[in-house]
Amino acid sequence: MYRILISDKLGTAGLERLAQITDAAYDMKTGLSKEELIDIIPDYDALIVRSDTKVDADILAAGSNLKVVGRAGIGVDNIDLQAASIRGIIVMNTPTANNIATAEQTMALMLAVSRHTAVAHESVKEGEWTRSKFVGTQLHGKTLGIIGLGRIGRLVAERAKAFGMEVVAFDPYVSEEVGRELNVTLLDLDELLPQADYITLHTAISPETIGMINAETISQMKDGVTIINAARGKLIEEQALAAALQSGKVKAAALDVYSAEPPRENPLIGLSNVLHTPHLGASSLEAQRDVAVQMVEQIVDALRGDDFRNTLNMPFRVGPGFNAIRPYMDLAETIGKLQAGLADGPITQVEVQAKGEAVENLIRAIAAALLKGILHNQIEGPLNYINAPVLAEKQGIAIAQTMDIEALDYPNLISCRVKWEGGSHAVAGVLFGGSEPRIVQVDEYRLEARPEGVILVMQNKDVPGVIGQIGTILGAYDVNIGEWRMGRHQPGSEALSFINLDSAPSEAVLDALRKVNAITQVTLLSP
């Protein structure tokens, strides 16, 4: 039974969905102090938060059974991603569930600040009726500059076009073709800023985007521009924006987010030409429902190992098709385990090669799985796709993609060469029928070995009688052979055997095999 802690308020629909899941139980405990959370987190497999709970390195360290942290929403500024990754803890969010709500909030802010809706409302409440004070501007015919043309930015563009606005956008990750499909003109940032009557922000927080709206970029904007931010508060240098609002360079701003929330000591609070809302982007009944249900389903799928969609710290892209690539990742992990067993010293370098339509775009996923396999007997504590690359780096293992491993012509072939001081091995594997893993090459030896269970790997001189001697020794110790696969250079040279055994042989068996003159190497690989 998986135990899930919900430490921030979650929509009723999410709790109802959790109640339907038979292999998970939850506790909802909101308003916990950091110390209280540290005390109870060891009892839980997963933690669901919104924006209030701060999940720092101390809390993650205390979560000895913690496998997943889910943010019911988009931003994960309150979760220490690096600390989670080192511990192999999955961090996921729900980036699509509140897209429409946030796009509509953006349009609401734009309309309200343009038509002075909030202050006009207060005026009427006070008994005034002075329409001349609240003459606004219409959106029709104005140019909207969108910074960040992702999911929400595209929804805003669609709605702005319906209002008759000209839409331009800056997003270095969006192609010209996508821009044409959206009927949006893509510009560089320094081209967009002087053209836009309205600028709305829809980009993620990164070292490059923090404070991107600052004194310098504001100086490039059209006089009388209006700025909308329903994305992340740290995108704006608030002191610079306040100065521009006071000078008239920026006509108005409508803000739903702030660098610190609530914004208790913020230079923008109190300015008459700023419209404020308390981070309402996702605050619609529909968005709250969708976020809660989606988060619950993602958390449970991740705990079961069924799916890892919307995981933020996986070292490769994870989507709905994860189960389709899992057999290849399992094969890569198996190759990694085999390499770890065959290596004659600490591995210092891993080279990865993937050939074939099904695997050539999976190099990052395959690399993570290979490293997980290589480290499987070296790491105490959690080991998974998330922290395997981090832990490998700490172990001094370098990893690189290569195309120079001489491999057989199999469809969708995964090859891996590992190096250590004084030696190296190259191993290649495929999936027969799309699901049956086979090792088809070890260095220059060709074979079709089944990499499962207890495996005896032996290198020997290819002379008469060796197979009989091996069989006799194993039989004498009551060790049964399940399957035997052998590859060799040429008759009379060297041979490599993969022997699947029904049980693990004792050290006495291995010693007896090593005493056979024709056998040059004996390695036991256990699950």
Q: Which residues are catalytic?
A: 232, 261, 279
CA angle (158 as vertex; 152, 163 as ends), nearest 5: 125
DSSP structure class, residue 231: S
Residues 174, 85, 336, 483: what is their CA dihedral angle, to the nearest 10 degrees?
Answer: -110
The one-letter amino acid at 205: I
What are residue 392's phi and psi, to 5 degrees?
Answer: -60, -40
The one-letter amino acid at 420: W
SS3 state of residue 237 = coil
Q: Which two tokens stand for residue 496?
A: 């490599």
What are residue 55's phi and psi, to 5 degrees?
Answer: -100, 90
Q: How many CA atoms lie within 13 A of 88 on its CB side?
A: 19
Q: What is the 3-state secondary structure (H, E, C) of 23-37?
A: CEEEEECCCCCHHHH
CB 356 within 8 A of CB 411: yes
User: Minimal CA–CA distance to 283: which of 77, 72, 47?
Assistant: 72
* Angstrom distance (rounded) from CA 238 to CA 269: 10
DSSP structure class, residue 266: -
SS3 state of residue 240 = helix
User: Bridge-partner residues for 416, per DSSP?
Assistant: 352, 427
* Angstrom distance (rounded) from CA 338 to CA 445: 15
Q: 355 vs 41, 190, 322, 327, 418, CA distance in Å?
A: 44, 42, 19, 16, 18
CB 451 within 8 A of CB 437: yes
CB 193 within 8 A of CB 217: yes
